[in-house]
Structure 1
Amino acid sequence: MASLICTLQDHQDDVNWCSFSAALFATCSGDKTLRVYSALDFSELPFSPLTGHGYGVHCCCFSACGQFLVSCSTDATTVVWSTGTGDIEAVLEHPGRSPVRICALSPDSAHLVSGASDGTLALWDFPSKRLRRTGGVSDTTMVACSFSPCGQIFATGSTYGDLRLWDLDLNQLHAEKNAHDLGVSCCAFAPSILSGGQLVQFRLASCGQDSHLKIWAVNKFSSGAFKMQLLHTLTAQAAPVLCCSFSSDGQLLVSGSVDKSVTIYDANNAVLLHKLNHHERYVTACCFSSTSPLIATGSMDKSVHIWRLEDGAGRRGGKSFPEDSAQTQNEGSAPAGRTRLLVADWSEADVSAWLQEEGLAGLVDTFRANNMDGAELLRLTKETLASELGVESVGLRGKLLRKLEELKGELLGSGTPDEFLCPITRELMREPVIAADGYSYEREAIEGWIHTKNRSSPMTNLPLLTTLLTPNHTLKMAISRWKSSQ
């Protein structure tokens, strides 16, 4: 479910782009301004609006740390703003003084690309704000650009209808001509990297004047060659699709269209989840928050809508169970609510009742004294039983561990979807994150793995290209919905 929680109506002209950082939210418009808001309550910051462009502002994006905001304009400049003060840090003039239609920062904010109406590209060293390379394609307008999650390549789209891949020397790696009939309008890389054998794969979404939203596999081979493969063509919108964006975990894809609609898809399965119709004119901008289940959409109706994706779970710490559940039962019998809960959600009373049922009543006082709930129970090892809980009896420790393994086995055999289980611990994930190998893990488990296994993938045994972990909000919501149904 997607619910509208806020509408911003501060711009005086079309909203052309919107972008989140961890703490801020920015929009830009044909009215020559950018507006900056708190991402917590969407109150506008004191120094907003930002004025400095001479013509309409087409695009804006935050640096990785959120310290800077970058914007580009028909005035042929790309401007770098301080998000602390709203002051201009640098004005980058595009070579040839052509109107700049698109700008994008690499994930590490080392590089900035700007694309212009004459088809030129400018690659800037962002820390020094110096021009490194120029290139591009003649007789077209660059309107789309996105960096891959590794930051070593980027994709561009133009009004000619092509998608092209470039390296940081502006060498063209691949050209997918006629990707969209009548022209590309936007493109966006998913944040995950899939690797295995001799292949590294990225996912790229693109949309265009043909009313299609497409998902591509971008394959890099060990030889250094690149190839693009069309995976899905999504046709839920009846008019040109103007914008698209992946969620921070790569599981969801949002798009906006001339038909005034916003669509939200399951990006992996190409399934339409929601279609929203609250804007009065073309939807020109869309993006996900990286820290919360929020989507922003901007329109030619001069408004920006903020949507919250609901996970359907109960309000009690993400758990869903009735008020007469485990915490309100007598400890001497099996609580009626416990059978409907996953072990990780058991209360201390549930754990005590389970110990008694399994003939381990002698451990009840020890577990109570140490506030052992279900999550702590699942983490128990032979070492923690002896050193932290002081269980000296070898036989008692052995019996408890055997019963605990049986309990975990029951969890696996109870119909728990395998994708909800961490590949490392084989336990239900509570804080799933996506690693550079494209797989999801429990955060604590993969962080420990990376620390001790020299950055190899637990699934492929190949080196992880980065140790960056991205919260998998979509999987977390799916797990929450599944738990509430049990």
Structure 2
Amino acid sequence: MLLLICFYQDQTSLLSYTAAPSPHPSWPPAPGIKLCVFITRLTSRSFLTLSGHGYGVHCCCFSSCGSYLLSCSTDGSTMVWSSDTGEAAAVLQHPSRSALRVCAAAPDSSLLLAGACDGTVALWDFPSKTLRRCHPVSEASVVACCFSPCGQMFVTGCTYGDLKLWDVDMSLLYAQKDAHDLGVTCCSFAPLFQVDGCCVQLRLASCGQDNQLKIWIVSQREGTACTMKLLHTLTSQSAPILSCAFSSEGDLVVGGSVDKSVAIYDANLGTLLHILKQHDRYVTAVALSPTMPWIATGSMDRTVNVWRIGDGDSRTGRKLPGHSGLLLAYWSEVDVQTWLCEEGLEELVSIFKANNIGGAELSQLNKEAARELGIGLAESLGLRGRLLRKIKGLMAEQSGSEAPDEFLCPITRELMKDPVIAADGYSYERESIESWIRGKNKTSPMTNLPLQTSLLTPNRSLKMTITRWKSSQ
């Protein structure tokens, strides 16, 4: 049996999802499946609703045995659900009730970790569901965490951009300052690690607001301190990368971005293999099956796409595309020629082939360059115009556009319609912050400090800026 968990915010925006492994032969279903705050059980039972959180769910993950699902929320709680029945087995409250952004379970299911907006992480003993320790790890919000595959250490990432490595007793092993400019968004260890004598080496992927996905080598030799060495910096995406994950063998690493793309890399060589551009809004979650050749990608467009790695037929999922899945700059000469045929420009294939034009050259093609190729004579003026329009449309399609982060409400992550300024100085969607203030939590959603007043001031300049931006789109 396979479980696919999707959490949405107000039945609109996909926030997080995760999958428990299973070699079920009939999955995945048709691409573009739409799910909403439920567990889709691929058995005779269609779905199971899970409710209990008071605010949006930011992260969910399974225990290694698959028996439990963990979810954490802005309401300051981590809930433990039974994967079999969907019943809540435990509700673990952060000691200060700070909003939780991320949670993780140790590989042996002995520990549960949750990162909070007040810069702390809470560590629970998983079997007894008791708090072991709540410890400050950053001056900024903790938005990423993961356990090492050996379960003896974990990594935290914060909105200041730092990565820190800790042992399970909360002792700092290593700190990587400014790992990502503008903030870390996700981190993930490769499932496998190497032991060379008395030295253990692990690979860690991290991504952030700087549009980069990085692969690190984490080393620890017996009796010495841990070290982190940067192996690859991957820069094929043009906007913040929100999620990253390794394949089960560690040979692939995948990143999902605000530019609506999913980038797939060779983790050993650091080379780009594919860019998937089939989502209509930014990609918030990526997952790779540990037992089957599948990649799942979740997006704010309310869909989950399932891809089959390598050859396969459409009945078992969408195959990774060829030239159309790569950014234009990475197209080969053959990719360009194939694209010309698809766009009804077959008569140009011989010219492009003779001049060795690949994707990089195609992206720079203008009227003057086309004329030099002979695509600009009197008899081919119309052809040149068609070609340049096709190139312009292709580049626009690949670049995409998304709302700037400052236009999104910090609570709902949706484009604001009626922005207001709260007592903490931050702007929110009026309805969302009013609902927040009416609730039990009288602290700032951003700083976790008490709100001195419930007075809200309309942010008219921001509203006008958002209106202008919407008109330009």
Write out aligned runs for 1:176-195 (5 A): 176-195=176-195
Measured in 2, the distance between the counterparts of 1:247 and 1:44 equals 29
How far residue 221 of structure 1 moved from its aligned partner, in angstroms, is: 1.6
Q: Give unpaired runs (5+ residues) of structure 2.
A: 28-34, 316-473
Give deviations 1:118-137, integer Å, cap 9, x for gaps.
01101111011110111123
How far residue 55 of structure 1 moved from its aligned partner, in angstroms, is: 0.6
Question: Any conservation in 2 of the 1:202–1:219 contact (CA below 8 Å)?
Answer: yes
2:38 to 32, 35, 41: 35
Question: Any conservation in 2 of the 1:242–1:258 contact (CA below 8 Å)?
Answer: yes
How far residue 138 of structure 1 moved from its aligned partner, in angstroms, is: 4.1
* Matched position secondary structure for 1:249: coil
1:308 is aligned to 2:308: yes
Give deviations 1:57-110, integer Å, cap 9, x for gaps.
000011111111000000100000011111100000011000010000011111
Q: 1:68 to 1:34 in 2, by over 3 A?
A: farther
Give deviations 1:291-324, integer Å, cap 9, x for gaps.
11111111111211111112479x9xxxxxxxxx
Report what 2:20 is aligned to: 21
How far residue 22 of structure 1 moved from its aligned partner, in angstroms, is: 1.8
Write out aligned runs for 1:205-284 (5 A): 205-284=205-284
Q: Give unpaired runs (5+ residues) of structure 1.
A: 1-5, 26-31, 316-486
Q: 1:197 to 1:264 in 2, by over 3 A?
A: same
Report what 1:433 is aligned to: none
Question: Any conservation in 2 of the 1:33–1:49 contact (CA below 8 Å)?
Answer: no
Counterpart of 2:116, as a letter, is A
Measured in 1, the distance between the counterparts of 2:17 and 2:119 equals 23
Write out aligned runs for 1:433-452 (5 A): none
Measured in 1, the distance between the counterparts of 2:64 and 2:240 equals 31
Give deviations 1:147-169, integer Å, cap 9, x for gaps.
10100000110001000001111
How far residue 47 of structure 1 moved from its aligned partner, in angstroms, is: 4.6
Q: 1:162 to 1:312 in 2, by over 3 A?
A: same
Question: Any conservation in 2 of the 1:18–1:296 contact (CA below 8 Å)?
Answer: no
Question: Any conservation in 1 of the 2:8–2:14 contact (CA below 8 Å)?
Answer: no
Question: Any conservation in 2 of the 1:17–1:59 contact (CA below 8 Å)?
Answer: yes
Report what 1:330 is aligned to: none
Measured in 2, the distance between the counterparts of 1:276 and 1:49 equals 31
Give deviations 1:180-204, integer Å, cap 9, x for gaps.
0000000000011112134211000
Structure with greater contact order relative to length (CA < 8 Å, sep ≥ 6): 1
Structure possessing the higher radius of gyration over alpha carbons:
1
Measured in 2, the distance between the counterparts of 1:209 and 1:58 equals 17
How far residue 230 of structure 1 moved from its aligned partner, in angstroms, is: 0.2
- Percent sequence identity is 57
Q: 1:44 to 1:113 in 2, by over 3 A?
A: farther
Report what 1:135 is aligned to: 135
Measured in 1, the distance between the counterparts of 2:214 and 2:230 equals 7
Measured in 2, the distance between the counterparts of 1:269 and 1:76 equals 40
Q: 1:50 to 1:139 in 2, by over 3 A?
A: same
Measured in 1, the distance between the counterparts of 2:63 and 2:253 equals 22
Q: 1:301 to 1:97 in 2, by over 3 A?
A: same
Q: 1:217 to 1:74 in 2, by over 3 A?
A: same
Length, aligned pairs only: 300
Measured in 2, the distance between the counterparts of 1:158 and 1:49 equals 32
Report what 2:288 is aligned to: 288
Question: Any conservation in 2 of the 1:9–1:303 contact (CA below 8 Å)?
Answer: no
Counterpart of 2:65, as a letter, is C
Report what 1:146 is aligned to: 146
Counterpart of 1:36, as a letter, is I
| Structure 1 moving runs of 4+ over 6 Å | 8-11
How far residue 33 of structure 1 moved from its aligned partner, in angstroms, is: 6.9
Give deviations 1:217-251, integer Å, cap 9, x for gaps.
00102224101000000001011111100111111
Give the alignment's TM-score, normalised by structure 2. Answer: 0.60
* Matched position secondary structure for 1:97: coil
Question: Any conservation in 2 of the 1:33–1:57 contact (CA below 8 Å)?
Answer: no
Question: Any conservation in 2 of the 1:76–1:97 contact (CA below 8 Å)?
Answer: yes
Report what 2:201 is aligned to: 201
1:61 is aligned to 2:54: no
Q: 1:305 to 1:44 in 2, by over 3 A?
A: farther
Q: 1:138 to 1:249 in 2, by over 3 A?
A: closer
Measured in 2, the distance between the counterparts of 1:14 and 1:136 equals 30
Report what 1:102 is aligned to: 102
Counterpart of 1:169, as a letter, is D
Measured in 2, the distance between the counterparts of 1:268 and 1:45 equals 41
Question: Any conservation in 2 of the 1:18–1:297 contact (CA below 8 Å)?
Answer: no
Write out aligned runs for 1:417-432 (5 A): none
* Matched position secondary structure for 2:96: helix
Measured in 2, the distance between the counterparts of 1:114 and 1:10 equals 20
Task: Give RMSD over aligned pairs.
Answer: 2.5
Measured in 2, the distance between the counterparts of 1:219 and 1:94 equals 32
